[in-house]
Structure 1
């Protein structure tokens, strides 16, 4: 499990930025990210949310024809903009450098910002499968922004790259909160 500092770094939050008022209860004021490094609560909450999202997404892929699946009301616009800006981007099997290298970040940043008012939580950290033909697992996920996730998965759906998931895997019962 990544440290709090690693999660902040992945989210693009500088180490010295205040994380918000009231974190940790007790009426404390703004908390420095460095102080939160040892606070596993935020990390655990993020991890639970990300895993819940990935479970729901994968169960949808297992149960519904991906070509008919709409992930957002803006799927058409996201797909068109993504393929116009990244026509040769390989969504079948992701390469970390295509998402996280300095050059890639320069290209992705303005693209993602264009969806700031269009997609709720567009910059929220989200897990995406590296190999689109496989399930979510620790070795088959990478952390991306929500809009990058939508670009990749909408494209996989539209281009038939998620079609085999329904025959290869079956939906899994969701883990209920509190069950471990």
Structure 2
């Protein structure tokens, strides 16, 4: 289990303040944190940063050349075997978040626990593959769901038009404290 210091460092906050009374170097117990607003905000910031970087890559590089994980082939084949008719062009929240969908997705996602680092981290994905990340065009999924959807979109041509429709946006540099 990662320590709080490791999690905060991953979020770009080295030497961050302890949350929920946990001391530096102690392991974080998710149940103890509950719905800590600070942690939720930090995770949201990290997810947004990830989405900005990924979309800039889509704007700059042929998506068919992108490799999102060392195990893209495994992720793609397992996804299409388990979800052959899943519409990756325009996502339907019901197909990801309904109780029936969760029952199918949960064991699938868990099968990647040892294969994909941080497979269960919250990650933003675009609902409509032809549009950019906006509040209305974004849904929160697990990292492995993001990889399944985006690897499939890249391989199946759904992200091909992004480079002609959008340009990479300059990112602001983080100020080291």
Q: 2:108 aligns with which of 111, 116, 122?
A: 111
1:64-79 alignment, distance < 5 Å:
64-79=61-76
Aligned to 2:143: 146
The CA deviation at 1:109 is: 0.6
The CA deviation at 1:171 is: 0.3
The CA deviation at 1:43 is: 2.3
1:42-57 alignment, distance < 5 Å:
42-57=39-54
SS across alignment from 1:111: helix
Aligned to 2:122: 125
Tell me, in whole angstroms, the C-alpha distance in 2 between the residues paired with 1:117 and 1:148. Answer: 15
Aligned to 1:23: 19
Instruction: Could you tell me which runs of 5 or more consecutive residues in structure 2 were left unpaired when the two chains were aligned.
Output: 1-17
Instruction: Could you tell me which runs of 5 or more consecutive residues in structure 1 were left unpaired when the two chains were aligned.
Output: 1-21
Are the structure 2 counterparts of residues 164 and 33 from structure 1 closer, same or farther at C-alpha, using a change threshold of 3 Å?
same
SS across alignment from 1:177: coil
Are residue 91 (structure 1) and residue 88 (structure 2) matched? yes
TM-score using structure 1 length: 0.79
Tell me, in whole angstroms, the C-alpha distance in 1 between the residues paired with 2:122 and 2:40. Answer: 12
Tell me, in whole angstroms, the C-alpha distance in 1 between the residues paired with 2:92 and 2:149. Answer: 12
Equivalenced residue count is 154
Aligned to 1:168: 165
State the superposition RMSD in angstroms.
2.0
